Each structure stands twice: as C-alpha cells, then as structure tokens.
Structure 1
Amino acid sequence: MRFASLLLAPLALLLTASCSQAQSEKAGKTKAETGLPKGGDRRKDKNAASEVPGLRKIGSLKGVVPESSGLAPAPTAGNYYSFGDDGNRPILYEITGTGELVRRLDVPADNNDWESLSRDGQGNYYIGNCGNNESTRRDLSIYKFRPDAPAQAGTIAFRYPDQNEFPPKKKQRNFDCEASLWHDGQVWLFTKDRGQSSTSNVYTVPDQPGDYTAKKVTSLAIPGQVTDAALRADGRRLVLLARGELFILDGNSWADILKAPPRQVALTGAGQTEGAVFKDDNTLLISTEQGGLFEFTLP
C-alpha cells in the first residue's frame, strides 16, 4: 500500500502540470485557433449597448458605407451624408435615418484620410482630409464643395502653427484631427490626442479655399480620443464624440462652451463610434466604423 501511494503522488503532480500547461496554451491561442471573437464576446458588447440609457440601435451601414467615419445632414431633410476613411474611395453616401442607401456622390478630391464632415448655413460642405495618425503629414486639407456642383470643390490647405517635427516625439503627437465643424465663418478643428496629455487642441482656419497656418484657440481637457464633433442648431451645446463615449459642453455662447467643463457619457458596447450629428435638439445620430447606426437621447 505504501509503495502504491509513493507512485500515485508523482502521477498526480504530472497530471496537474499537464492540465496547467493545456490551460496556458488555450489562453494564448488566437481567435483563429479558439474560435472566439477577438476583443471579447460580441454578444456581451451588444447587450451592453442596449443597456446604456437613451442609446438604441436603429439601423446598419454594413454593405452601404465602408468604415463610416463621419455624419452630416444631407440637403434632403431626414437624410444624411457619410463616408469611408483612409483607403476608401472619395465618395459621399447619402443615407436615410435608418441607414438605407439613397445615392452615391463622387467628390473629385483625394481621400488621403477623410475623417470629418460638416455643413454651413449656405449649403456648403467641408470634408476634413486631415487624419494624421502618426503626425507625419504635411498635406493637411479641407475640401469645400456643394452637392449640386461637386466638380468645383475648393481646397483649404493648412498647417499647425506649433508643429515643427514630422513626427514629433510620441508624447507630443497631438496633430491628428478627426473632428471638425463649421461655425461663424471658420472651420473649427479638434485634435485627437495620441500622446499622453488627454487634451484636445482647438484650431481654426477660414472657410475659404487657400493656404493657411491654422490659429490655435484653446485646449480642452478631454480624457478620450476625439473622433467627431457636432454643434446643436442653437449653438449652445457642443458634443465631442470619442471611442465608446462622448463629451458634452454647454454654454450660452460659443466662447462659454469652449470654457465649459465637459460632461462624460459612456456608450459602452456601441463599438468604435466615429460619426455624430444632431437629429434634433436632444437626439444624436451616431455611426460606428463597424457599421452600426445608433440613436442617442442626450441627458
């Protein structure tokens, strides 16, 4: 009996070690090896999105807009323009409020990295061709055009007044702009901080074609990477969208808004949120790069 016990002890240790190794190998396997979706259980993410107060999925852009990266109102009431970012064709997709395709509009301009879209009060549109992930670009621009005459698009070329290195050190890479809007004769640019300062710098350029050095106006304490901007029609609420969250800034004037402390709202599970536009004073339409289309009632 004692001899049997001596044999069983090493055997138990061997089985325990084998099980631990098997578990370690399983934990280290890739999506292709395990069959699990990368980044977690997508069903849980979907459920998380449905549990965010005021957030509901109302449509899909899959097969309609490749990697939606922005939204703006179309000339037809209730319709919107969206587009694909870097690597996609220079096309605006007109969609309904639930994501059905209405038409495609070719824009005769390069899509180096389209990231934002806005409209002024005269029906002109401004495409932010200023995505700059590594802060290396020297060809930043905004395209100004009208949907009824897209061939006459003009270029607003610009540079940042405080960028002297291409690229700067990693901690100083805050020259990627994925959010812009038109306001009061200027195109306002909000940077996506890829350094470590949790700051969105705010610049302006004139809304007329030309070659400009942007003007730095202020810096906003935004603990997230800004992907789009939307201004309410009355000019008293600014929303800065980020990945899976948004920031709300309120004020009685534009100057007050830019001084307001941002309120942070989680959009957990919605995905990589990239486009936002006001549907009405209290409701946002939000698109994701994965093709989701959401409606969010603002608190």
Structure 2
Amino acid sequence: MRFPSLLPAALALLLTTASCSQAQSDTSEKGDKKAKNAKGGDRRKDKTAASEVQGLVKVGSLKGVVPESSGLAQAPKAGHYYSFGDDGNRPILYEITGTGEGAGKLDVPADNTDWESLSRDGQGNYYIGDCGNNESTRHDLRIIKFRPDTPAKAGIIAFQYPDQNEFPPKKKQRNFDCEASLWHDGRVWLFTKDRGQSSTSNVYSVPDQPGDYTAKKVGAIAIPGQVTDAALRPDGRRLVLLGRGELFILDGNSWADILKATPRQVALTGAGQTEGAVFKDDKTLLISTEQGGLFEYTLP
C-alpha cells in the first residue's frame, strides 16, 4: 500500500497544471488585448466611449458624404455647413446638414495642396487655409478667399512665416504646420500645430485681402496637444482650439485677453481624430472627425 506516498506528488502536479493553465489564460488575454490595440482598439468600446463624455453626442455620419473631413464652417443656408477633404482630395466644399446629410457640392478653382481649415467673415467671404505643412518644407502657403456665389473669382492670400529660415528646420523646431485658422476683425489668424517638442501653438495673422505677405507673429499659447482647428464664438469672447480627441477653451472680454488666457482642456475620449469645429450656437459646437463622425458638444 504505497498510495499515500503518491499523494504529495499528485497534488504538486495538479497545482503545477493549474498554475500553467492560469498563466496561459493570462497570456492569451494579454495577446487578445494587444491584437485589439493593434487594430485600433475595441471598436464596441469606441462606439460607446463618446456617450461617456458629458455633453458629447454623436448626431450623424459623414461617411460617403465627405472624404476625410478636415474642417467645418457655417454655409450660407441656415442650419447647413461646409466641409472638405484633407490633402489629396478634390478641391470641393461639401454642403451638409447638421446631422451629416449631403446637400450639395461647390467646386473651388484652386488646388488642394493641403487644405486644413475653413472660416467665413461677416460679409459672406470664405477663407480656406491651404497651409498644412507636415514637414515644414512648403514655400507656397496660402489662404484661398472666395464667395460661394462667385467661386471663379477666388483670390489668393500668400504668406510666409517671419521666423522660418530653414526648409525644413530641425525636428524639434518644426512648428510651422497650420491646421487651424479663422477670420476675425479684418485679419486671418493662424494657430500652428506643434510638431516639435515645445507643446506650443504659435499665433500669426495676415490681412484678409489677396496679396503676398509676411505673417505677423502675435504670440504663443501653451497647448499640451496638437491643434487641428479653431472656432470663435459669434460674440468674440470664447475661442476653441480643437485637438485630436480633445479641445482647449480660452475665454476673455476681448481678443487680446483671449490670446493671453490659460486654456481649459476638455477630453473628447472616443470621438476619434477630431479635425473640424464650428459654433452651432453660443453653447454648442459641431465637430467632425477624419473617420466620418459628426458630433455635437455642449460647452461647459
């Protein structure tokens, strides 16, 4: 009767097997998570993440309507908006409703080198920021000014930065990519997307009339992110700088005060690569993503 002497060995084998099984299970779970992350994360979670951000609501989709939406502006018709595709897409403004339905197209007689932003003034003129500059190598930065009723008469506001002397500069100094611009008080204002390491959005401005200019450097805003669009509230007292999956709010009683304000950061977790923003009303932003999402965000 030697069975009792086998019990410790059997028990040890049992514990070892369970331990290995658990380790394999943990490894499998980690592998699954890595696989999901490699493919862009858990899509089911992505779909519901936006609902977890207070005030953020998905209101429509631009898929099949606007290819890689990179900006937004109010269209002449109330409740309608213009958007456009990123670089490599056709030079077209797509008119959409507030829920993403297509409502028309407008051909613009200008190349889309790297369109990144869109705004309008109080007289019905629109300004397309063709100043995307990922590698800080462009010598042909420009803003296209036009009216929707006479697009063939588009004018060009060409500009260069006063502080760029190398094309490209060193990687840590590449802060000459601009994906955010807006019209205000007779000038077009440019907010750079810092591709260096300073976490700073430099602010420049140029006149709103066609011509060739050296932009005026106005200042800089400490932004812990990369700016992809800009929107100014109609009363001129709140500026919103959009980032990728986040936004920054600057308030002030004047434009000068706003540019000196400390930004308040708001996470838009789950929205995706947010690229376009426009005020729908004083408290609500309409936000588009490059993946085709269309959201409303109620500002705090």
**Do these two structures clear the TM 0.5 threshold for a shared fold by scoring above it?**
yes
Q: Which residue of 2 aligns with 1:151?
A: 152
- Deviations along 1:139-198, one digit per CA (max 9) or x if unpaired, are 111000000011111111111000111111111110000000000110000000111101
The answer as to whether partners of 2:176 and 2:194 remain within 8 angstroms in 1 is: yes
Matched residue, 2:80: 79
Counterpart CA distance in 2 for 1:132 and 1:199 is 16
Unaligned runs of 5+ in 2: none
Aligned to 1:53, the other structure's residue is in SS state coil
Counterpart residue number, 1:209: 210
Deviation at 1:27, TM superposition (A): 3.5
Query: How far 1:35 sits from its partner (Å)?
Result: 7.6
Aligned to 2:201: 200
Report the alpha carbon displacement of residue 215 of structure 1 after superposing the two structures with TM: 0.5
Q: Distance in 1 between matches of 2:32 and 2:116?
A: 35
Structure 1, unaligned runs of 5 or more: none
Deviation at residue 36 of structure 1 after TM alignment: 7.2
Aligned-partner residue type, residue 59 of structure 1: G
User: Which residue of structure 2 lines up, in the alignment, with residue 250 of structure 1?
Assistant: 251
* Residue type of the alignment partner of 2:78: A
- Equivalent AA in structure 1 for residue 227 of structure 2: V
> 1:28 Cα deviation (Å)?
9.7
| Identical counterparts, % of pairs | 82
- Once residues 38 and 80 of structure 2 are traced to their aligned partners in structure 1, the CA distance between those partners, rounded to angstroms, is 33
Shift of 1:136: 1.0
Larger radius of gyration: 2
C-alpha separation between the residues in 2 aligned to 1:129 and 1:118?
Answer: 12
Q: What is the root-mean-square deviation of aligned Cα atoms in Å?
A: 2.6
Residue 38 (structure 1) shift: 1.5
Measured in 2, the distance between the counterparts of 1:42 and 1:298 equals 26
CA distance in 1, matches of 2:196, 2:31: 31
Give the letter aligned to residue 51 of structure 1: E
Asked if structure 1 preserves the Cα contact closer than 8 Å seen for 2:189 and 2:206, the reply is yes
Q: Distance in 1 between matches of 2:38 and 2:48?
A: 15
Please tell me whether the aligned partners of residues 238 and 250 of structure 2 are also in contact (alpha carbons under 8 angstroms). yes
1:270 is aligned to 2:271: yes
Q: Assess if the C-alpha contact under 8 Å between 2:36 and 2:42 holds in 1.
A: no
Inter-partner Cα distance in structure 2 for 1:205 and 1:271:
31
Q: Given residue 142 of structure 2, which amino acid in structure 1 is its aligned partner?
A: S
Distance 1:235 1:210 in 2: 26
Amino acid across the alignment from 1:82: S
Q: Deviations over 1:95-152 (max 9, x none)?
A: 0010000001010101010000000011000000000111111111100000001111
Deviations 1:247-298 (A, max 9, x none): 0000111011111111111101100000000010000000000000000000
Q: 1:206-246 CA distances to partner (integer Å, 9 max, x unpaired)?
A: 11111111000000011110000000010000000000110
- How far did 1:47 drift? 1.7
SS at match of 1:47: helix
TM-score of the superposition, structure 2-length normalised?
Answer: 0.90
TM-score (norm 1): 0.91
The 1-side partners of 2:157 and 2:87 are apart by 19
Matched residues, number: 295
Please state how far the C-alpha of 1:39 moved relative to its aligned partner. Answer: 2.3
